[in-house]
Structure 1
Amino acid sequence: MADAVPSPSNHMENCVQIDRRSLLGAGVAAAATNILSTRTAGAGSDRSIALASPVVTGAATVDAQGCVAYPDTIVRAGPAFVFAGTSSGEFKNIMISVPGVSPWGTCVQDGKGGWTCTMDLSSVRSGPLNCRVMAWYDDWIEKSVDLDFTLLIDNPGVTRADPPVPAPAAGMTPILIDDFDAMPDDSRWAFGERPDGSQWGSDAHFTTKDGDLAEVFQTPMPSVLRIRAVYDPNFKDPQGWGRKWRSGMLCTAHADGRPPVAAFRRGYVEMRAILPLGKGMWPSMWAFQLGPNERGMKSNPGTEIDPLEGYCQTPDPGKYALSSGAIEWTSAGKTGEVDGPRFKKNFDATSDWHVYGAAVDETSMVVYVDGVVTQTIRLPKSTSADKFFWMFDNTLGGGWPVTVPPARYTDMWIDYIRIYSAD
């Protein structure tokens, strides 16, 4: 379906509108349409590539490329770090891309289906490190088998310092600070549901507190949260929408009548994250207004603000489009006044940590990436004094075609979330 789209940029803008109508409107129809665009990568190629050390991964082939299965093994970085792997079929050139170290680390092939590459990883920070093996077979740089995997790096000499209070939050009151030193729990977060108890209209079913949260939320190393979107062809969608993905969403407002954990009308929110790599990924940091007495959801009208909607159009680093906007929702899920979407295109959101922030006041939202203003969004004139609750999720689709990677999962990483109120 993607090949039939004449203009990627126009397609993206259309998808934003299509998807947002489905969020509060006809979720069933939208989900059914999106499921048709999900394509599982096939198999059968005689060429494959796999990693054997420092961890053992699954294999990528010509017809099944991208994220392969990898173990949650923490490895120590050093000046002579050795990658080793196996291959089948003839490859003219094999290279490894390691963010912050080298985009083109040359591998030595032994002529017997083995290969190695030695790199200096002594400067790599502790945390997840998304790497790619590229094995070219038809030309030196044209046709390749790409294998994506994540290393969990332990490097005591290079760690992240505690972040200071963000400049846009100066003078504000912190109302939620989570460094994910422990798994998120029900006392600090709501999971999966809207404050009215229903689901959002995306291609992934968000797991709720009554489901298997450990499948979609993990802390495989200290102070790092992983939200994993899992593809399961046998999944029975509880909503009957035909979805085959499960994933996680953190929400600051509960559906059981408890007051929100963190909500503001004026304030600042910030997330440090590595976004998921894969065609059709759609991670988000966004907010909607609470209903009367800070319960449920505001309607007729209610305002949605989206400082970050990430669209991964192709399964390649550097191809993310970051979308920001504000939408007025009227009755029956229809849109009124809209500002956006506005895009920051060709952004590498998957190779390293980035800080995404949003400052909200009475009339506007200022969007930040790594401390730099990227967008200023006008709020709808109808935006009331009701507070915004916040959501952070790893989902996919939204009108985009989705390719299922060999691992049948894709990961989003969060270092911290901080929410400040100026109310």
Structure 2
Amino acid sequence: MKILDQEADTGSALSTARLLEKIEIMRSMLRWAARLERRDIEKLLAQAGSLRDEVMQLSHKERFLRAAGGESLPAQQLPAGERRRQLLARSFVFEGVFGDNPKLLDALEVAEKAAPTDLPVLIDGESGTGKELMAKVIHANGARSDKPYISVNCGAIPDTLIESELFGHRRGAFTGAATDRKGKFESAHRGTIFLDEIGELPLPGQVKLLRVLQSHEIQRVGSDEPIAVDCRIVAATNKNLRKLIAEGSFREDLFYRLSVIHLTLPPLRERKDEIPLLLAYYADEAAEALKRPPVKFTPRLRSFLLNYAYPGNVRELRNLLYRLSCLAGELADVAHLPEDIRPRPLGLADGADGRGAASLPSSLGEAKRAASDEAERAFLERGLKEVGGSVSELARRCDMNRSHLQMLLKKHGIHSKDFRVGKPPPADGARQQAAH
């Protein structure tokens, strides 16, 4: 408690985020303390962890009053880094690190305001962008943070067991039901239930879920007795639910029930400033899990990790760091990367056969990404040609946000004006020149 006493003596207020930061620093120092036995270190780490858990429960009311207060400038007009600093200064609980990407900060600020309510939240984004982490952030910053958090992967439950898994069953309700069993909703009573991959839930399960959202009651399989449940609903998907609605595989009324608050997480390739932070964070996390010092990178490996596209997003980066920490020991090089993403050795960069092998993809993964980019560019050009260069119309046809479409056009160096009626599309050489 010395760290708290010192701060109290100054008479200044210390935010929950600052306390957590100091506790994490203390834990890092203890982890590699040379003069203490491992038994003593583990005991101190456990005490620091308990203190950290207590701090996370403090001052919810004050935190939300601060979050609701006005600011001198709109958040979008604050200098780079200031939005992130102010968010943490408001005692925003976040397990991990994040950068200054505006789209991510938008999502975090919406989550901060939504957390103290009981409104349903729908989170979408590509696989591996951190949707479950965002669900835990909403739970940790809400009034239910000391209550259960139950996660359900809707895509991993067989169709025949969905109702039993979510709502439970009575003994003898079906073959194999030897005892009464609670469902996920009962287990999450008073807390938060996270419905991951909600787009994978079949239509019969969607009907049952909609009834629960409307009545706040469930019925176990094999029972007519209603059971009241009080759960905060957070759902996530990597699919376009509006497209699934149009195809008839997702209920529109359920979509609107779930998406009272709607968050979109940007992919890691749009959050390049975050990669160095994540590399350091997961290197430390892997070191703690493997009971060894954090792995170091050769310059070539670091350059690769900073510039790699990460199609699997944050999850892929985390798994890479665990792999490197396990296989490399103290110093990791590109040879410790998975073979399908490993760059070509430097000695082969010019090609041993003299036919320009440097222009070829250096790995299967890179070849797939190049092919995907080419298909994406061809689709955008064909679409712009069909709509006469109208970005708004193409966005409407593709059910895509206009700003996201503009970003894709900029990525490929495509100018919509080149496709307006009466003007032919640019030649390949001109397009490549525009892209650079």
Q: TM-score with structure 1 length normalisation?
A: 0.24
Larger radius of gyration: 2
More strand by share: 1
